[in-house]
Every structure is written in C-alpha cells, then in structure tokens.
C-alpha cells in the first residue's frame, strides 16, 4: 500500500529539504507510525492528509523533534536530526524549525508583541531589530494595531494570526502546521486558507501541513501525502490525488465517490478503455491510467461526475436508465440517490428542476472519470 | 551534535533525584513503622531481635478501643453524610435564597478545624460546666441536657467539620449530572416522584457511596476531636490510643505500631474501594463537563431550607467562634456573665507568655519553611509525574500520594521511630517537624500544583521549544510565569496546613521546638480554657489572613483564565 506513483527524485531535482525515511513511532507497543518515507523539496508545501489516528500529527511532531521516533531517519538539509541507527536525536529547539499549533498556544501572560518577539529574544536579537521584525510580521498578518494587547483578549482568528506571525518572524528554515485552522468556524477557515497560502508563497518557506480537511489540503498544497493507520496510502499533487485515487480509501476519503466492483471483461476493452462487468450485468468503461489491471476490478466514480438527464444523452458508453430513489436538497447542490443494479449510486448535481422520486432518468459518466483503482 | 544518550543524563537525572528524595521521605518512616509492628523481641533493643505477628494479636487485648473507634466513625460518617447530602441538595437543586454565597461559605467549617470545634463544643456541652447545660439548669432542668464527652459528642463535632467535605463531594456529583437525563424521563411521561426514584437517585448513589467511604476513612484516622473530648472521660479511639501508648511510661511502641499499621491498612483498603466506586460510577459523573443542574422552585419552603442552611453554619462556625470569643474575654468562662468578669488578660498573656510566643514563632517559621521548600519540591514532583513522561512516573505518583492513606499521627510515629535511630541528631528539633510536614503534605501540595499544571496546555511549552528556547529558558519564561498563581495558592495552602497541624506535631515536637496547635491542646489540659480560647482564636486569625490571601489569589486566577 506504500507504493507512490511518483518516480524517485532524479538528479535534476533540487536536494530535498526534509527527508523522512522508514519512520516508525510506537507508544509502548501501540504503533502510531509504521514505516513512512517521503521528501519535501525546498519551498514546497506538503500536506499530510488523513483521518484522525492515521499518524499524520505524530509524523509532524517527529519532524519537529517533539516526539522521539522508534526507528528510521529524518534529515533536514541533508543533515540527520534523528537516526535510530546512528543514535542521533537532536532536540526540537536545536532543529531550527518552527511550528503553528492546533491550539495556537498563545502565551496568555504575554502581550501580542512579546509573543511574537519570543523567538527573536531566544536568538538574542537586538531591541531595534526585534521591534522592526515583529512589526513587519504583525503587518503581514494585519495584527499590528493589536501589538500591546494581552493574548487572552483576542478572538480565535486573531490568535491564529499571532501564532502565525510568531512562527515565521525569526525566519525559520521550515514551517510546520498542526491542523492550524481546525478550531476556526467554517467561514473564517475559508478566508484563512487563502491568506495562509498567499503568505507561504510570499515567504517561499518550506512547509509541512497536517490536516484532516480535504478542501484545505487541495487548496493549499503543492503535494499531498494521504495517510491511513500509520502508513502512506498515496502521494501526489492535489490534482492527482483527486482525479486518480489509487485505492478505495483515498477515493472515498478525498471527496465523495461511488465505488463499483466487478469482473474485468478484457474481450470488451476498446480504444484503451477497460470494461468492467458489474454483478447484474451492467458494463462500465473506465481508464486504468497505467495501473495494472487484474481480473477483479474496483472503479471509482466521483459523485459530481455522474450526469443526470431526462432525455437520452448522445454518448453510447456508460449510459443507464435508472429509477430515482431519493433526492436531498443541500443548498449549492442536490444529492440524488439512484438505483443501479444491486447497489445505489449517488450523484451530486448543481441546482436543478426537482426530480420525481420513483421516476426514471438517464445517468451517464465519461469513461475518463471512471478510474480503475490500484490493487 | 546532541545524542539521545546525553538527553537522558541532564533532565532525567534531576528528575530521578527529586523522586528519590520523595521516596526516602515517604518510605523510610513506613519501613520503621512496619519494623516496629513486626518486632516481637525485647522492646528495649534495636534493631529488633525477633520478628512475628504477635503485636497484631495484641491489639485484641483492647476490644473496647476497636468498638469505640467503630462507633464514633460510623456515627460521625452517617451524620456528616446527612449534613453533606441535605446541604448539597438544597444548594444545588432548590432556589433557596443566597445559595451561591452559601456554597462558598460551606468551605469555612473545613478551615476552622475539628480542634477548634472540639474546644468550643467542650465549653458548650461538657456535662457540668458546659454553657448549654448551665442554661438548661438555670431554666429549671435537671442534670445535663447534652454530654459532649461521649461517643456521639465526639462524632457530632467531627461530623460538623467533615460535613463540608461530604458536601463538596456530593454537590460535585449532583452538579455533574446532565439535567437532560431527568428531563428525558419527564418527557416520557414520568411523574416528578418517579423521576426522582428511578433516575435521580440511582445516578447519585455511586457518588454518595464514594463520599461515604472517603469520609469513613477520614473518620477512622481523625484525632483532634477524640483527644480533646475523649481524654477527660477516658474514652479512647484507635488514634488517641496510639498516642497514649507512645506517650505513657513505659511506652508500648510495638503494640502502637501494630495498631498504626492496621489502621492504615484499613484506610488504604477504604481509599482503594473509594477509587473503584468512583471509577465504576463514571457513567454519570466523570464526564468532565459541568452542567447547570435543574433548580426546583419550592415556593415558601425555601425559607425553611434557608433556616436549615443557617442552622448548619451556625453549629459548625458561628456558635464555636462566638463561644471561644466569649470564653477568651472572661476571667472565668464557666461563670455566668458579669461586668467584672470581662477581661483582655487572656490575650495579653497569650502574646507575652514565652512558651506561647516561641510556639507561635516556631509555627510561623515552619509554615514559611514548609511552604517555600514544599512548593519547590512538590512543583518539581508534579512536573515529573504529570509532564515529564519519565518512565516510572506512575510509581512516583503512588509513593507521593501514599501519605494520603496514613493518618498523620501514625506517620509521625514512624518518623519518630525512624529518626530516633538516625545518626544525625534531628529528633526533638524543628528540622524533624519540617521533614514531617514536607512528607505528610506531599499529596496536598502535589495535587494542588498538578491541578494548575494540567490546565496549562502542553503546546504552550512545546511552542517555546519550537521557537528555539532551551529547557531552562522556557521554564523561566513560559512554565513558571503560567504556574505562578497556582504556586502561590499551593504555598498558602501548605502554610495554612502547617500552622494547623496537630497529629504529627504532637508526637514530634520536643521541649525546645514547640509549635502552636499542640500547645493549644497542652494549654487546654494544663492551663485554663480561657487562655486556650485566646490561643485558638489567634491561630484562627493567622489562618484566616492566609485564607483571605488565598481567595484573592484564586480569584485572580479565575480572572485570567489559562487556556
């Protein structure tokens, strides 16, 4: 399940900024991370995505130096900061990284200014330089006018900005984010997502971002590592992860998808399309995107890619006439449950004429949107 | 480059050092207590020449003492639970006027100490000279109305003070119950009575049972009230019997030790049972969420319940204080009030008498010492147990919390026996008392500081680390400043506890290292009740000042929530 579709970095690529190799971390006998390897390139924003308990936060904290792994190696700029073989474990404060915490961790006994200045004071920066850098950082997060406030008097969003300014003010080589937006309400989260992305581009800083929120991961990352049960499920760009999930888990976790199981009918394969026969005889054409195709197949169809029409569509492949079982109005879209063979398909359509439950409609999907999942 | 190994050395070595100090403090006396209990050889020879269990059989030579202990403990537990339950129900579930104020006042009896209550109630209820009995006879009654020098008298005084402990525990259970559970029952059509019987009571039972066991264990080990009220009528319970066996000549150290070991074995079992019950009952109580309990409008009945609240506080706080104040201002307290009987002489004597002044000075000195050293030691221990993730921290927690299950008198007995044999001559000095206080208050201090420490989000410290701060730097700039209010509160609590300490001090103080609380007891039996009343009030004043500071500090913590 570890296989990443990406080829190993060729010599033309820059040296990775962070390298994690065969990382394992056990709490007693309970595994949290069971052998994870990935690289982060300079200036890249990499996201660790997965459900709670998948080991993403533990991996991040191991990079930070806040958790001591059980085995493996972590290198930053080619220098090992942790290596089980060589007995190296550099303390978090010596690694030159920075981190934004899920709880913000704004020190309540200090002002906003003092919070942000902390990392500079640790580095024995001069008073004038501290003032200049702190104000610059606060400007970047639009919090300058709050400099003399006590941290306890700030709202959640403001604390978030202060935490951010504090994290980058001393120009760390790497920024780590531990679900920084999860405590904000939905509207603010969407705004902060854009701001964070912009800031990251402006600073050009390498960052590793942990989240369980798909939209956040898709919007903010250069690359995504999907994790599950302490292992890497898939690594790729947001587009790859979304378009070409390589397992049922990724397909389902990364956005809603219909999974269809069946037998490979190689006799019906045509024009590079793979034909699948579902148990009631429906034939579905999909694409393998270079993945090996076995005798038993699972394909994924995103709910947004299923088209519903009352007239027969022009296409000849992947068209079925099916009964409408239920419709759920959800504002921006309507979720339609359709009977299809022995299973149900779910389609999400933009606002449309209400469909009569029990009536029949045509559904269709382009074969390029029917993705054969990896074994 | 920092290797994994050098990390172990610095921080962990310091950690294990502190843990070792705590372990020695706790385990060294316990060892000597056990040794004395199992010593069946010649009592004059140390170390023991023979070991066996005969001393434990010896306990049964005193069946009356065991019966007395049981009578007093059961009676006191029942009364304390009734007080606690009634007050908890009134103050959390009814709209009695001023219930928020009452809720805070309910802590006062606990801080007034059973000793103070015993002195006051002795003045009020001794069969011959007690004020209540004098008034009874003046009104034409015969003999005495009440006799405080009996099992039920002792239990009454103990229950008045332990009632506030029972209240806190039971009120917490009632508060942590989701009112939706009762509302659901009503929605299903159950009547109020049915809801009460089928939902409310079963939900609070585990909590009340837990409180009962906890209070009973405390009663088994309580000392002050039984000493003051039982000694005149030669009514002994196990703690006063241990005290008597150690103090008499020749002392019966071995039997006393066996009694002590048995007592703490029983208390240990009780507290174990308590933890089991509290955990088993967790389906209601330990959600960690405080609900706003449903308050029943009880109409005019609320003024009756207000009377109940006032009555309890009057018996536990008002009456004892007024009695002592009156007695301290009289030349002869037992005489009927007359103009020429009023005097300030007792207070003058109290502050000028050498013995008293040195006892008070010693107590203050010990209070400052215990609180200051204690906060450092217990702060480190709390950090070690709850934050360091050091292997073995669970064991350290057990050792540190161990004195909780041992009556202070018994612990002091072990300490005495341990340090008498120790090559450094600290027996009979204030140093031994300091050691004793630091040991017996370990659970109090560690728990108080840990409470504040656990409120501080771990990421506050980790964030400082990510900013590049070394351990020492982040402790100085983040951990300590955040802990300060909690440390100040712990300091004041330790100070108060030291000033009031009786059980350990009475055994360990030497002729040149007297402290205030045992001196009050000595004065009670040796000098006059009027002077004793003055002394007790002076002590109460010192404690009250510390209390007010404590409340001010905790208020400030409340004003600046640490999240």
For residue B513, the enclosing domain spans 1-39+345-563
Position A224 scores a pLDDT of 95
Quickly count: other Cβ atoms within 10 Å of residue B343's Cβ: 14
B420, B271: one domain: no
B411, B544: one domain: yes
B78: nearest Cα among B147, B149, B151, B145:
B151
Number of domains in chain B: 2
Residue B455 has pLDDT above 80, yes or no: no
Residue A226 has pLDDT above 70, yes or no: yes
First to last CA, chain A: 8
B3 part of contact set with chain A, CB < 8 Å:
yes
B281, B415: one domain: no
| Low-confidence winner among A360-369, B10-19, B370-379 (lowest mean pLDDT) | B10-19
Domains A18-96+173-243 and A256-372 are alike in CATH topology? no
What backbone phi and psi angles, to 5 degrees, belong to A261? -105, 150
d(CA B80, CA B161): 8
Please judge whether A122 and B467 are an interchain contact, meaning their C-beta atoms are less than 8 angstroms apart: yes
Please judge whether A122 and B459 are an interchain contact, meaning their C-beta atoms are less than 8 angstroms apart: no
A66 part of contact set with chain B, CB < 8 Å:
yes
Question: From the CA of B438, how many Å to the nearest CA of chain A?
Answer: 30
Domain-located, residue B52: no
Q: What is the pLDDT confidence band of residue B3, given thresholds at 50, 70 and 90?
A: very low
Sign of CA dihedral B52, B57, B62, B64: positive
Task: Give one word for B360, left, alpha or beta, with left for phi > 0 and alpha for psi -120 to 50.
Answer: alpha
Domain boundary among B314, B331, B362: B314
Residue range A235-272, pLDDT digits in tens: 999 999 988 888 888 888 877 788 888 899 888 888 88
Residue range B43-60, pLDDT digits in tens: 777 777 778 888 888 788
B466 part of contact set with chain A, CB < 8 Å:
yes
Question: From the CA of A63, how many Å to the nearest CA of chain B?
Answer: 11
d(CA A285, CA A301): 11
Position A13 scores a pLDDT of 59
Question: From the CA of A97, how many Å to the nearest CA of chain B?
Answer: 7
When mean pLDDT is compared over B151-155, B184-188, B466-470, the highest value belongs to: B151-155
| Low-confidence winner among A66-70, B284-288, B492-496 (lowest mean pLDDT) | B284-288
Q: Average pLDDT of chain A?
A: 87
- Global model pTM greater than 0.90: no
Residue A48 has pLDDT above 70, yes or no: yes
Alpha helices for B421-528 (secondary structure H): 430-440, 442-455, 458-466, 471-474, 480-500, 503-508, 516-526
d(CA B225, CA B222): 8
| Closest residue on chain B to A65 (Cα) | B466
Position B9 scores a pLDDT of 55
A96 part of contact set with chain B, CB < 8 Å:
yes
Q: What is the pLDDT confidence band of residue B275, given thresholds at 50, 70 and 90?
A: confident
CB of B12 closer than 8 Å to CB of B390:
yes
B32, B159: one domain: no
- SS3 track for B365-431: HHHHHHHHHHHHHHHHHHHHHHCCCCCCHHHHHHHHHHHHHCCHHHHHHHHHHHHHCCCCCCCCCHH
Domain-located, residue B439: yes
B234: nearest Cα among B159, B157, B161, B154:
B154
Position A2 scores a pLDDT of 41
A107 part of contact set with chain B, CB < 8 Å:
yes
Residue B333 has pLDDT above 80, yes or no: no
Q: Which two tokens stand for residue B305?
A: 């319940």
Output A364 or A151, whichever has higher pLDDT.
Answer: A364
Please judge whether A109 and B481 are an interchain contact, meaning their C-beta atoms are less than 8 angstroms apart: yes
Domain-located, residue B59: no
B56: nearest Cα among B32, B72, B34, B71:
B34
- For residue B462, what is the domain's CATH number? 1.10.3720.10
Position B252 scores a pLDDT of 86
Q: What is the pLDDT confidence band of residue B280, given thresholds at 50, 70 and 90?
A: low
Q: What is the pLDDT confidence band of residue B559, given thresholds at 50, 70 and 90?
A: very low
Residue B449 has pLDDT above 60, yes or no: yes
Does A256-372 carry CATH code 2.40.50.100? yes
Position B4 scores a pLDDT of 43
CB of B371 closer than 8 Å to CB of B498:
yes
Position A6 scores a pLDDT of 41
Quickly count: other Cβ atoms within 10 Å of residue B199's Cβ: 18
Q: What angle (nearest 5°) sits at the alpha carbon of residue A142, between those of residues A136 and A148?
A: 75
Residue range B405-437, pLDDT digits in tens: 888 888 888 888 887 777 777 778 899 899 999
The residues spanned by each domain of chain A are 18-96+173-243, 256-372
B35, B84: one domain: no
A203: nearest Cα among A235, A177, A241:
A177
- Chain B residues lying within 8 Å of A97, measured CB to CB: 466
Q: What is the pLDDT confidence band of residue A11, given thresholds at 50, 70 and 90?
A: very low
When mean pLDDT is compared over A69-83, A290-304, B544-558, the highest value belongs to: A69-83
B535, B449: one domain: yes
Position B291 scores a pLDDT of 60
Domain-located, residue B177: yes
Contacts of A34 (CB under 8 A, 6+ apart): A24, A55, A229, A230, A231
Q: What is the pLDDT confidence band of residue B343, given thresholds at 50, 70 and 90?
A: confident
DSSP string, B87-129: HHHHHHHB--TTHHHHHHHTTHHHHH-HHHHHHHHHHHH-TTT
Residue B391 has pLDDT above 80, yes or no: no
B503: nearest Cα among B238, B221, B311:
B221
| Closest residue on chain A to B468 (Cα) | A93
Q: Which two tokens stand for residue B563?
A: 């999240």
B455 part of contact set with chain A, CB < 8 Å:
no
Question: From the CA of A243, how many Å to the nearest CA of chain B?
Answer: 36
Residue range A353-368, pLDDT digits in tens: 677 888 888 999 999 9
Q: What is the pLDDT confidence band of residue B335, given thresholds at 50, 70 and 90?
A: low
Position A351 scores a pLDDT of 63
* Helix pair angle (B63-93, B201-221), 10° resolution: 140
Task: Determine how β-strand A333-340 pairs with β-strand A343-350.
Answer: antiparallel
Please judge whether B460 and A105 are an interchain contact, meaning their C-beta atoms are less than 8 angstroms apart: yes
B429, B529: one domain: yes
Q: Which two tokens stand for residue B493?
A: 């609590």
Averaged pLDDT for residues A219-229: 93
Position B292 scores a pLDDT of 62
Residue A111 has pLDDT above 50, yes or no: yes
Position A9 scores a pLDDT of 42
CB of B84 closer than 8 Å to CB of B210:
no
Position A146 scores a pLDDT of 92
Please judge whether A64 and B477 are an interchain contact, meaning their C-beta atoms are less than 8 angstroms apart: no
| Closest residue on chain B to A166 (Cα) | B467
Please judge whether B469 and A105 are an interchain contact, meaning their C-beta atoms are less than 8 angstroms apart: no
d(CA A238, CA A254): 10
Q: What is the helix (H) or strand (E) element at residue A33, kind and residue range?
A: strand A30-40
Residue B390 has pLDDT above 80, yes or no: no
Residue range B120-142, pLDDT digits in tens: 999 998 888 888 888 888 888 88
Give the nearest partner residue to A107 out of B2, B473, B478, using CB atoms: B478
| Low-confidence winner among A67-71, B65-69, B167-171, B338-342 (lowest mean pLDDT) | B338-342
Question: From the CA of A284, how many Å to the nearest CA of chain B?
Answer: 51
Residue range B225-272, pLDDT digits in tens: 999 999 888 999 999 999 998 888 888 888 888 998 988 888 888 888
* DSSP letter, residue B353: -
Residue range B148-178, pLDDT digits in tens: 889 999 999 999 998 998 998 888 888 777 7
Total residue length of chain B: 563
Position A138 scores a pLDDT of 92
What backbone phi and psi angles, to 5 degrees, belong to B278? -60, -40
B563 part of contact set with chain A, CB < 8 Å:
yes
Output A214 or A49, whichever has higher pLDDT.
Answer: A49
Tell me the sheet residues that pair with A344: A339
B301, B165: one domain: yes
Domain-located, residue B327: no
Domain-located, residue B17: yes
B131, B72: one domain: yes
Tell me the sheet residues that pair with A364: A307, A319
Residue range A120-131, pLDDT digits in tens: 998 888 999 999
Output A3 or B522, whichever has higher pLDDT.
Answer: B522
Position B288 scores a pLDDT of 43
Position B562 scores a pLDDT of 35
ipTM score above 0.90: no
Position B337 scores a pLDDT of 67
Report the CATH architecture of A18-96+173-243: 3-Layer(aba) Sandwich (3.40)
Position B151 scores a pLDDT of 92
Domain-located, residue B501: yes
B178, B243: one domain: yes
| Closest residue on chain B to A117 (Cα) | B467
Q: Average pLDDT of chain B?
A: 84
B398: nearest Cα among B7, B8, B30, B64:
B30
d(CA A282, CA A252): 22
Question: From the CA of B482, how many Å to the nearest CA of chain A?
Answer: 7
Q: Is the peptide bond before B47 cis (omega within 30 degrees of 0)?
A: yes
- Chain A residues lying within 8 Å of B460, measured CB to CB: 105, 107
B372, B249: one domain: no
Question: From the CA of B435, how many Å to the nearest CA of chain A?
Answer: 35
- Chain B residues lying within 8 Å of A87, measured CB to CB: 3-5
Position B530 scores a pLDDT of 87
Please judge whether B459 and A103 are an interchain contact, meaning their C-beta atoms are less than 8 angstroms apart: yes
Position B556 scores a pLDDT of 64
What backbone phi and psi angles, to 5 degrees, belong to A245? -60, 140
CA distances from B531 to A187, B326, B350, B505, B511 (A): 71, 11, 7, 21, 20
Please judge whether B1 and A98 are an interchain contact, meaning their C-beta atoms are less than 8 angstroms apart: no
Please judge whether A90 and B2 are an interchain contact, meaning their C-beta atoms are less than 8 angstroms apart: yes
Q: Which two tokens stand for residue A235?
A: 């690594």
d(CA B482, CA B560): 10
Position B10 scores a pLDDT of 64
């Amino acid at each position: 399940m570890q296989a990443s579709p990406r080829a190993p970095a060729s010599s033309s690529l820059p040296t990775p900024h962070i390298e994690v190799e065969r990382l394992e971390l056990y709490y007693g006998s309970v595994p949290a991370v069971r052998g994870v390897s990935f690289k982060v390139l300079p200036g890249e924003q990499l996201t660790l995505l997965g459900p709670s308990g998948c080991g993403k936060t533990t991996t991040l904290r191991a990079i930070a130096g806040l958790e001591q792994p059980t085995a493996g190696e972590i290198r930053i700029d080619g220098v090992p900061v942790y290596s089980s073989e060589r007995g190296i474990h550099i303390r978090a404060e010596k690694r030159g990284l920075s981190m934004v915490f899920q709880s913000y961790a704004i020190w309540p006994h200090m002002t906003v200014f003092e919070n942000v200045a902390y990392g500079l004071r640790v580095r024995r920066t001069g008073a004038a330089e501290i003032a200049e850098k702190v104000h610059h950082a606060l400007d970047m997060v639009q919090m300058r006018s709050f400099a003399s406030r006590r941290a306890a008097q700030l709202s959640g969003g403001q604390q978030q900005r202060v935490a951010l300014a504090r994290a980058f003010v001393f120009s760390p080589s790497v920024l780590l984010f531990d679900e920084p937006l999860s405590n904000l309400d939905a509207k603010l989260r969407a705004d902060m997502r854009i701001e964070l992305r912009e800031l990251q581009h402006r600073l050009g800083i390498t960052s590793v971002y942990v989240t369980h929120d798909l939209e956040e991961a898709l919007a903010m990352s250069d690359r995504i590592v999907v994790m599950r049960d302490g292992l890497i499920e898939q690594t790729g760009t947001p587009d790859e992860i979304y378009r070409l999930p390589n397992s049922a888990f990724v397909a389902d976790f990364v956005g809603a998808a219909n999974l269809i199981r069946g037998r490979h009918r190689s006799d019906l394969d045509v024009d590079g399309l793979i034909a699948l026969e579902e148990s009631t005889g429906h034939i579905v054409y999909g694409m393998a995107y270079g993945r090996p195709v076995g005798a038993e197949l699972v394909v994924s169809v995103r709910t947004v890619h299923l088209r519903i029409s009352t007239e027969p569509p022009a296409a000849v492949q992947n068209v079925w006439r099916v009964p409408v079982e239920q419709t759920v109005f959800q504002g921006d879209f309507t979720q339609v449950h359709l009977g299809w063979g022995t299973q149900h398909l779910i389609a999400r359509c933009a606002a449309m004429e209400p469909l009569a439950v029990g009536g029949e409609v045509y559904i269709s999907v382009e074969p390029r949107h029917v993705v054969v999942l990896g074994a | 480059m920092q290797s994994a190994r050098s990390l172990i050395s610095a921080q962990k070595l310091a950690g294990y050092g502190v843990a070792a100090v705590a372990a020695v403090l706790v385990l060294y006396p316990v060892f000597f207590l056990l040794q004395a209990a199992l010593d069946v050889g010649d009592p004059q020879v140390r170390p023991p020449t023979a070991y066996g269990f005969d001393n434990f059989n010896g306990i049964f030579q005193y069946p009356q003492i065991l019966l007395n202990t049981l009578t007093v403990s059961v009676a006191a537990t029942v009364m304390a639970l009734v007080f606690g339950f009634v007050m908890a129900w009134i103050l959390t579930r009814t709209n009695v006027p001023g219930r928020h104020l009452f809720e805070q006042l309910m802590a006062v009896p606990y801080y007034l100490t059973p000793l103070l209550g015993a002195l006051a109630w002795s003045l009020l209820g001794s069969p011959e000279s007690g004020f209540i009995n004098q008034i009874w006879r003046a009104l034409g009654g015969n003999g005495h109305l009440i006799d405080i020098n009996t099992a039920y008298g002792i239990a009454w005084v103990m229950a008045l003070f332990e009632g506030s402990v029972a209240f806190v525990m039971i009120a917490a259970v009632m508060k942590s119950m989701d009112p939706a559970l009762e509302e659901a029952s009503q929605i299903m059509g159950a009547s109020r009575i049915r809801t009460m019987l089928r939902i409310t009571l079963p939900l609070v039972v585990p909590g009340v049972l837990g409180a009962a066991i906890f209070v009973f264990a405390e009663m088994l080990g309580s000392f002050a009230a039984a000493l003051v009220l039982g000694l005149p009528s030669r009514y002994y319970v196990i703690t006063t019997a241990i005290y008597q066996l150690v103090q008499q000549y020749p002392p019966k150290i071995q039997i006393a030790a066996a009694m002590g070991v048995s007592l703490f074995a029983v208390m240990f079992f009780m507290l174990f049972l308590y933890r089991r019950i509290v955990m088993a009952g967790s389906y209601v109580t330990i959600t960690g969420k405080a609900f706003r309990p449903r308050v029943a409008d009880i109409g005019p009945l609320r003024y009756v319940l207000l009377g109940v609240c006032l009555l309890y506080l009057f018996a536990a706080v008002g009456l004892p204080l007024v009695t002592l104040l009156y007695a301290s201002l009289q030349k002869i307290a037992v005489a009927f009030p007359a103009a020429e009987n009023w005097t300030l002489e007792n207070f003058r004597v109290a502050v000028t008498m050498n013995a008293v002044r040195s006892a008070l000075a010693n107590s203050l000195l010990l209070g400052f010492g215990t609180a200051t050293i204690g906060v450092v030691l217990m702060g480190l221990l709390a950090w070690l147990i709850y934050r360091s993730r050091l292997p073995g921290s669970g064991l350290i927690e057990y050792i540190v919390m161990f004195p909780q299950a041992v009556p202070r008198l018994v612990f002091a007995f072990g300490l005495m026996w341990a340090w008498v044999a120790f090559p450094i001559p600290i027996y009979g000095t204030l140093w031994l008392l300091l050691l004793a206080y630091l040991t017996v208050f370990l659970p109090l201090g560690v728990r108080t500081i840990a409470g504040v420490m656990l409120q501080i989000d771990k990421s506050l410290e980790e964030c400082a680390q990510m900013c590049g701060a070394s351990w020492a730097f982040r402790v100085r700039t983040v951990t300590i400043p955040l802990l300060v209010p909690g440390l100040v509160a712990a300091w004041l609590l330790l100070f108060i506890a030291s000033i009031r300490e009786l059980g350990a001090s009475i055994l360990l103080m030497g002729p040149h290292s007297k402290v205030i609380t045992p001196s009050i007891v000595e004065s009670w039996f040796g000098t006059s009740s009027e002077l004793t009343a003055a002394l007790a009030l002076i002590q109460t004043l010192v404690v009250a000042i510390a209390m007010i500071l404590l409340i001010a500090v905790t208020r400030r913590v409340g004003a600046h929530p640490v999240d």
